[in-house]
Amino acid sequence: MATAKQNKPNVGIWKVLSAVIIIFVLLVGIGAMWKAKSDLSLAPAIAVIPIQGEIGINGAADPVDISKLISKADKDVTIKAIILEINSPGGSVVASKEIANAIKSAQKPTVAWIREVGASGAFWAATSADKIVADPASLTGSIGVTASYIDFAKAMDKYGITYNELASGELKETGSPFKELTAKEKEYLMGKVITLKDIFVATIAANRNLTFDYVNEKATGEVWLGTEAKEMGFVDVLGGKAEAQATAQQLANITKSRLVTMEKPKPLLADLLTGNMGSMSYWIGRGIGDSWTALASNSKIKMDA
């Protein structure tokens, strides 16, 4: 009995010591977490600017909005590099060119990060960055220009509708949806398409330090996987966010960083509701017939990259 009573204090001491050790370990862990967070908050920033959806003026990826974000990041002293997070199939020629010029004009290091899709005009913009990082399974390339228009000529013949043309020149009505293209009009439009394609090719060749002939040979409009694009010299690094961040750090000559996403401010709920109601009333008021007339007047030729 005496022996059992003598051992009881020893058990109590071990319990106290165990509790102290557990508390100590927890405090050390919490301290390390806070230190890591503190270090991260003090780390140099890298801006992440999304380029998502179809590229176009007033489109999902608007060149004005993206250019403003690039300029803002470029002027921010806390930001050391810029990552363009690309997930876009391309879009209009002019809008793609404007985004490419904005990327090119940035004074800070730029990295184009192609996630799922970075094709056509989006690929044009990506090549303006200092380095391109692409997911191995992403879709890139699609170098080329397309021109399209709507042709109602056969439908009009079916319903006995006649299109009367009064134009000051034989090419003035080129691309009118109410008539078929003539051979001369097709040749005329293809000339424009080829000229724009050559500008596209020349820009990529210069950006990627490749020859015009090499890029032109690849300008078939086909898309490539990220792995294929790297083999052809159109991509520098295969990977995702981590690789894009590491590449940006290397270009900025820093060893650690924190990512800061920069996006266009989202509209207020009141603005969204007002815009939707206004749009609905507008289309209902115009009616279907007037909508077709507007479509015809705005759909002559649409050129995309």
Please list the active-site residues: 120, 172
Q: What type of residue is 223? A: V
**From CA 43, how far away is CA 97, in angstroms rounded?**
33
Report whether 116 contacts 135 (CB < 8 A). yes
Report whether 107 contacts 80 (CB < 8 A). no
- Which has the closest alpha carbon to 144: 96, 211, 201? 201
Within 10 angstroms of residue 74's Cβ, the number of other Cβ atoms is 16
51, HSE (Cβ side, Cα atoms, 13 Å):
39
- Which has the closest alpha carbon to 215: 231, 234, 187? 234
Tokens of 161: 């509708």
Residues in the chain: 305
